[in-house]
Every structure is written in C-alpha cells, then in structure tokens.
C-alpha cells in the first residue's frame, strides 16, 4: 500500500473518531478497529519474543551513575531454583560438577528456547496488549470510565509481576520437597523441557491468579458485584480458592498450594474492602425487601395517611344550596330569590 493511501486511511480513522465522540461504530468499523488492535498486540508480542529469545542465553550489563549492574541470562535465572538445591539431590552431568539440565532430543534445546522466549515476550508486551484490549472496550463506556485505562493497566501489570516473583521465591522450596521424596534411592535428573514447563506454568498460574482482585474491583465499579453479595460468604470463597489452588498448581505439592491460597485470600479480602468503601461512597445500600423470602411480605414502614371525606364541589351553572345568611326562605310572603338565581 502506498504512503498516500495509508495517510488517507489514517485521516479517515481520525475523522470517524472525531465525528463519533460517543464511540458509536458500524459492524465494519468494529472489525477494522479489532484488526488494528490485534496487529499492534502481535507486533509487540513478536518484539518481546525476540528480546526473550536473545536474553535466554546472553546476559548484559548496565551502567547507572557509575554503578555497574550485571543481569544474568534468562536461562540462568530460571534454572536458579534447581541449581540452588543441595548437590546430593540432583544429578551431575559434567566433570566439574556444574549445574546443567538434561536434553534428550536434538531439537529440544531450540524448541525450549523458543517457548521460553515466547513466554517472556508475552510478559514483556503485557502493558501493550492489555492497553489495546482496554482501548477496544472503552468506546462503549462513558467518558468518566475511560480515565481508568492507565490505572487498570498499571495495576494489572503490577499484580502479574508480584505473582510471578512470589512463585519464583517459593519455587526452590517446592522443588526441594518434591525431589526429597525417595532421594535415598534415586537422584533427580530433570530434562530442560520438564523443568522449564514446571517453572513457566507456575509463573503463569501465580501471575494470572493475582489478577483476581482486579477483576472483583472492576465488577464492583460497574455495579455488577456489590459488597452486600459477598460480605457473608467469606468461608465459602476461601474454600473455593483452596480448591482452585489445588487444581491449577503444577505438581500439586503443598507449598505452592498453601502459598497461593494464602495470597489469594489476602488479595480477595483487600478487594472486598475496596468494594465496601466504594459502595459506601456511592451510597448504594441493599433494600430490606431483597433479604426477605419469596413468600414473605415486606413490612410497611409508614402508616397510611387517613383519607379525608371528599367535599362537594358546585358545578358551573348549577343551583347551589342556600347558605345560612340569616334570611327566612321558608315563608311564602316577601321571598327574595336574588341570592339563589
């Protein structure tokens, strides 16, 4: 496509958004907008994957105000929990006892490097594709709700990174527990594919699970999940979180399950307190009649006002009853009908 055509399409897109400040679009315009968001997200993912593929085997150094900062390669960082185990719990494949993982096929190392680079690229590019996702949704929201875009993306990235860091910290403890079962008879000789699969799945599980409080807060802001709907269900929610942690953690070892359950329970409680404060700020209180059974009648808070007796109103042109004017209308003589007619 030529440069003038691209410029014309860009001007058309800007003109359409300017003419439609409320975000109304046709189906074709929605599809074009979706295609634009997907292309930008894929480009960011591809660039992040390239960075992760190079970083997998090569570290780098940074100089910040005279201080030299050395960053290890991504492969050394990921295999750190395995290499931190005691030497008697892992097999050695080198003469000098260096910590190495095992490869059992010719293309395993290449495929593994591509997979790790893709996961790293997904993490690196998450601010971009999260923003693109939110920007695709926001045309249907109010102007006041669009201001939460930067806050939403920042909190989502921060929570994901916190979950990934926590999983990396407890990874060595979980590995030591798993590899110590029957270590009197065998030594662990993990392949790179098996080990990195366990590490990557654990990082993703913790990172995605830490987005739960953000989802709860977003539902409360949209008015879908009020605090009154969850305030008395904490025990059930904690049990559900424990079941979720037991299902999603790889290896089903107790250290990861307990850590994930405790963190999710804490983050969920923080999100519930946010819901309580937000509902109190908006003054949204649950009516008493919503807590009643289906067959129970709601109480009447106010007594009915007494109905006053209706008064007769004279119609125009009709003869009204004579008022008490002190005159005698009953006598036949000298009767004056001027007051009546």
Domain enclosing residue 144, as ranges: 3-210
DSSP designation for 252: G
Beta strands in the chain (DSSP E): 60-64, 67-71
Contact in structure between 152 and 214 (CB atoms under 8 Å): yes
Look at residue 189 and tell me if it is in a domain: yes
Model confidence pLDDT, tens digit, residues 220-268 = 887 888 888 888 888 999 999 999 888 888 766 788 888 889 999 999 9
Global pTM value: 0.66
Q: Residues near 48 by Cβ (< 8 Å), separated by ≥ 6?
A: 120, 121, 122, 123, 124, 125
Predicted confidence (pLDDT) per residue in 74-90, tens digit: 888 888 888 887 777 77
How far is the CA of 146 from the CAs of 22, 149, 150, 271, in angstroms? 12, 6, 9, 21
What is the DSSP secondary structure assignment for residue 90, as one 8-state letter?
B
List, in order, residues 6 or more apart from 178 with CB less than 8 Å away.
Answer: 251, 253
Domain total in the chain: 1
Phi-psi region of 35 (alpha: psi -120 to 50; beta: other; left: phi over 0): alpha
- Domain annotation covers residue 293: no
CA distance 237 to 269: 10
150-197 confidence digits (pLDDT tens): 787 888 888 888 988 888 888 877 777 777 776 666 666 778 888 888
Mean pLDDT over each residue of the chain, to the nearest integer: 76
Task: State the greatest distance between any 2 C-alpha atoms of the chain, in Å, as a whole number.
Answer: 146
Alpha helices (H) along 180-302: 192-209, 212-221, 234-248, 254-282
Q: Is residue 253 part of a domain?
A: no
Is 227 contained in some domain? Answer: no
Tens-digit pLDDT profile for residues 328-337: 544 444 555 5
pLDDT confidence of residue 16:
45
In a domain, 101, yes or no: yes
What distance in Å separates the CA atoms of residue 325 and residue 156, rounded to the nearest whole number?
87
User: Which residue has 């993490």 as its token pair?
Assistant: 123
Nearest CA to 130 among 184, 26, 208, 205?
208
- What letter does residue 303 receive in the DSSP assignment? P
Token pair 């926001």 is found at 138
Give me the pLDDT at residue 11, please: 52
- Residue 260 in any domain: the answer is no
Cα–Cα–Cα angle for 96, 99, 104, rounded to 5 degrees: 105
| 332 falls within a domain | no
Find all residues with CB under 8 Å of 135, minimum gap 6, and list them: 37, 149
Q: Is residue 123 part of a domain?
A: yes
User: What end-to-end distance do the CA atoms of the chain give, in Å?
Assistant: 96
Report, as an integer, the average pLDDT of 24-44.
86
């Amino acid at each position: 496509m030529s440069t003038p055509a691209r410029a014309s399409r860009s001007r058309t897109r800007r003109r359409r958004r300017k003419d439609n400040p409320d975000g109304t679009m046709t189906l074709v315009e929605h599809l074009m907008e979706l295609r634009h968001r997907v292309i930008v997200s894929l480009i960011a993912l591809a660039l992040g994957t390239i960075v992760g593929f190079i970083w997998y085997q090569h570290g780098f150094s940074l100089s910040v105000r005279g201080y030299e900062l050395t960053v290890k390669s991504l492969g050394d960082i990921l295999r750190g929990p395995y290499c931190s185990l005691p030497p008697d719990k892992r097999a050695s494949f080198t003469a000098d006892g260096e910590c190495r993982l095992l490869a059992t096929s010719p293309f395993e190392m290449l495929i593994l490097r591509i997979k790790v680079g893709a996961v790293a690229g997904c993490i690196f590019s998450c601010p971009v594709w999260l923003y693109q996702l939110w920007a695709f949704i926001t045309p249907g929201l109010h102007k006041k709700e669009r201001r939460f875009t930067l806050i939403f993306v920042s909190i989502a990235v921060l929570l994901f990174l916190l979950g990934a860091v926590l999983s990396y910290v407890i990874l060595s403890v979980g590995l030591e527990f798993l590899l110590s079962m029957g270590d009197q008879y065998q030594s662990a000789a993990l392949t790179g594919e098996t080990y990195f699969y366990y590490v990557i799945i654990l990082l993703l599980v913790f990172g995605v699970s830490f987005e739960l409080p953000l989802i709860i807060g977003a539902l409360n802001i949209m008015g879908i999940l009020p605090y009154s709907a969850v305030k008395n269900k904490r025990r059930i929610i904690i049990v559900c979180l424990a079941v979720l942690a037991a299902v999603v953690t790889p290896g089903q070892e107790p250290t990861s399950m307990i850590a994930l359950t405790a963190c999710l329970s804490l983050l969920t409680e923080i999100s519930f307190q946010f819901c309580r404060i937000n509902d109190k700020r908006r003054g949204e209180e649950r009516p008493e009649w919503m807590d009643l059974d289906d067959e129970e009648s709601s109480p009447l808070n106010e007594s009915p006002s007494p109905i006053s007796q209706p008064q007769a109103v004279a119609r125009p042109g009709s003869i009204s009853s004579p008022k008490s004017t002190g005159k005698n209308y009953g006598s036949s003589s000298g009767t004056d009908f001027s007051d009546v007619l």
